C-alpha cells in the first residue's frame, strides 16, 4: 500500500521543463530528495508544504532514493488544460487529458515499409543503440518510442533528455500510459506509425522507461513485452531487431551472459526477429535470425566519444562491457540495414 508523508521544500536542486528535483525536510527533521512532475501537480517553491509518496524509497527499490511529490499544499487548486479527451493514468487521482496524436495524423495507420525497429528490454540499452546507430548511419534519424512497461513519465529519463540534446535521437513518442513525448499515442502500434510517418524516422528504438520489473521467474517481468512489440513490428511491415540483454558484470546468475529475459523473449516471439551475434551465443537463441555485423564495437570509446556516461544497474561501461556491446551491436545492425539499402 502507498505511503504518503508531509514535507517542506528546502531547496530546488535542479529543474527542466516538466520536472523539478528538490531537497525536502521531512516531519522528523531529516532531509530527503524528491522530484515533482510539474505537468501533473504544478511547480514547487522553497518553503512550500507538500505531500510526498515515500513508498519506493522506504521499500528500498531502484528509484535512486527519490520521493515523489503527490500534492503541493501551497496550491488550493491546479488547472492545466490538455489537448483533448484522451486520458492517461486513467481512473487514478492524477488522471489527465494527455490527448493523442493519432487523431490529427491518420498516416499512423500506414505500413512501416521495412523500417528497422530495435526493441530493447532495459532502458540503458537505448544509449548504446543510439550511439552506435549514429556512428554507422550518420545523418539518419532515430526516433524513440517509450512503452508503459516501467516508469510512465518520459521526463524522468535523464538519458532520453541527454540523447535528444546530443541529437542522437530526433524525436520521441510515448505509448499507452507513458506520457510526455513529442507525440502521444494510445498504443505501441500507432506509436510506431507516428514515429515513421509523422516524425520521419529512418529507424526506431522501442523500450520502456527506467525501472524494468522482474521477479526472478520466466514470465514475471515487464521485459516480456518485447516479444509482443517485435511481433507488432513484423505485422506492420517493419524489420524487427531484438536487442540482446547480456552481462559480464551482473552478479545474478540468471542475467550472466545472455539474460534469461532475452531467452524468454526469443521463445515467445513468433516473428523470427533479427539479432546481432554479440555475444556469439546469441546465434543459438530460439526462433531468431542471427547475423554477424562484422563490426567489433569498442564501447568504452563509443560512449566516451558520444559524451555519454550511462550506467546499467549502477555499473559503468567498463564494469559491464558485454551489456553495452550487445546493445551497441543492435544499433550497428539497424544502421547497416539502412546503409546497405542505399547501395
**Half-sphere exposure at residue 165, Cβ-oriented, CA atoms within 13 angstroms:** 10
Calculate mean pLDDT across residues 313-328: 95
CATH 2.40.50.140 range(s) for the chain read: 4-72
The pLDDT value recorded for residue 85 is: 80
Q: What is the DSSP annotation of 38-55? A: HHHH----TT-EEEEE-H
pLDDT tens digits, residue range 62-79?
A: 666 899 999 999 998 999
pLDDT tens digits, residue range 256-280?
A: 889 999 999 999 999 999 999 998 9
At the topology level of CATH, where does 4-72 sit?
Answer: OB fold (Dihydrolipoamide Acetyltransferase, E2P) (2.40.50)
| pLDDT tier for residue 342 given thresholds of 50, 70 and 90 | low
- Is the pLDDT at 343 greater than 60, yes or no? no
Question: In the predicted model, what is the mean pLDDT of the chain?
Answer: 95
Alpha-carbon distance of 5 to 154, in angstroms, equals 25
Taking the alpha carbons of 191, 197, 198, 203 in that order, is the dihedral positive or negative? positive
Alpha-carbon distance of 120 to 105, in angstroms, equals 26
The Cα angle at residue 115 between residues 112 and 120, in degrees rounded to 5 = 105
The pLDDT value recorded for residue 250 is: 85
Q: To the nearest whole percent, how much of the chain has pLDDT over 90?
A: 89
Calculate mean pLDDT across residues 134-161: 98
pTM for this prediction: 0.96
- Is the pLDDT at 312 greater than 70, yes or no? yes
Q: To the nearest whole percent, how much of the chain has pLDDT over 70?
A: 98
Nearest C-alpha neighbor of 198 from the set 161, 172, 164 = 172
CATH 3.40.50 range(s) for the chain read: 106-342
Alpha-carbon distance of 327 to 254, in angstroms, equals 18
Calculate mean pLDDT across residues 162-178: 98
- 265 contacts: CB under 8 Å, gap ≥ 6: 121, 223, 224, 226, 227, 230, 242
pLDDT tens digits, residue range 88-123?
A: 999 999 999 998 999 999 999 999 999 999 999 999
| pLDDT tier for residue 341 given thresholds of 50, 70 and 90 | low
Q: Which CATH architecture has domain 106-342?
A: 3-Layer(aba) Sandwich (3.40)
Evaluate the omega torsion of the peptide bond into residue 279 and state whether it is cis, within 30 degrees of 0. yes
Q: Would you say 196 and 189 are in contact if contact means Cβ atoms under 8 Å apart?
A: no
Helices (H), 196-320: 225-235, 260-268, 299-306
Q: What backbone torsions phi and psi does residue 8 show, to the nearest 5 degrees?
A: -125, 135
The pLDDT value recorded for residue 288 is: 97
The pLDDT value recorded for residue 63 is: 62
Amino acid at each position: 500500500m502507498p505511503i504518503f508523508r508531509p514535507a517542506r521544500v528546502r531547496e530546488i536542486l535542479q529543474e527542466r521543463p516538466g520536472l523539478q528535483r528538490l531537497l525536502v525536510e521531512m516531519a522528523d527533521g531529516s532531509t530527503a530528495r524528491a522530484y515533482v512532475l510539474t505537468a501533473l501537480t504544478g511547480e514547487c517553491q522553497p518553503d512550500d508544504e507538500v505531500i510526498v509518496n515515500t513508498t519506493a524509497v522506504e521499500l528500498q527499490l531502484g528509484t535512486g532514493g527519490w520521493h515523489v511529490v503527490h500534492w503541493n499544499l501551497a496550491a488550493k487548486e491546479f488547472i492545466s488544460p490538455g489537448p483533448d479527451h484522451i486520458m492517461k493514468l486513467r481512473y487514478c487521482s492524477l488522471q489527465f487529458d494527455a490527448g493523442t496524436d493519432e487523431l490529427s495524423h491518420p498516416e499512423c495507420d500506414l505500413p512501416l515499409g521495412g523500417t528497422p525497429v530495435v526493441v530493447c528490454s532495459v532502458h540503458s540499452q537505448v544509449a548504446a543503440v543510439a550511439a552506435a546507430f549514429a556512428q554507422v548511419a550518420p545523418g539518419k534519424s532515430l526516433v524513440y518510442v517509450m512503452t508503459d512497461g516501467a516508469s510512465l513519465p518520459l521526463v524522468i529519463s535523464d538519458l532520453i533528455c541527454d540523447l535528444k540534446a546530443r541529437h542522437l535521437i530526433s524525436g520521441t513518442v510515448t505509448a499507452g500510459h507513458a506520457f510526455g513525448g513529442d507525440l502521444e499515442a494510445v498504443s505501441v502500434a500507432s506509436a510506431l506509425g507516428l514515429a515513421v510517418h509523422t516524425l520521419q524516422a529512418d529507424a526506431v528504438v522501442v523500450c520502456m522507461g527506467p525501472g524494468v520489473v522482474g521477479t526472478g521467474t520466466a514470465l514475471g517481468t515487464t521485459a516480456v513485452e518485447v516479444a509482443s512489440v517485435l511481433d507488432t513490428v513484423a505485422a506492420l511491415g517493419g524489420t524487427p531487431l531484438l536487442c540482446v540483454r547480456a552481462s559480464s558484470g551482473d552478479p545474478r546468475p540468471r542475467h550472466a551472459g545472455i539474460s534469461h529475459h532475452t531467452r524468454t523473449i526469443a521463445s515467445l516471439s513468433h516473428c523470427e526477429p533479427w539479432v546481432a551475434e554479440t555475444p556469439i551465443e546469441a546465434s543459438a537463441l530460439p526462433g531468431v535470425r542471427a547475423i554477424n555485423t562484422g563490426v567489433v564495437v569498442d564501447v568504452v570509446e563509443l560512449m566516451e566519444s558520444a559524451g555519454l556516461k550511462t550506467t546499467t544497474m549502477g555499473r559503468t561501461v567498463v564494469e559491464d562491457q558485454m551489456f553495452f556491446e550487445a546493445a551497441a551491436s543492435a544499433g550497428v545492425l539497424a544502421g547497416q540495414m539502412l546503409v546497405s539499402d542505399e547501395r
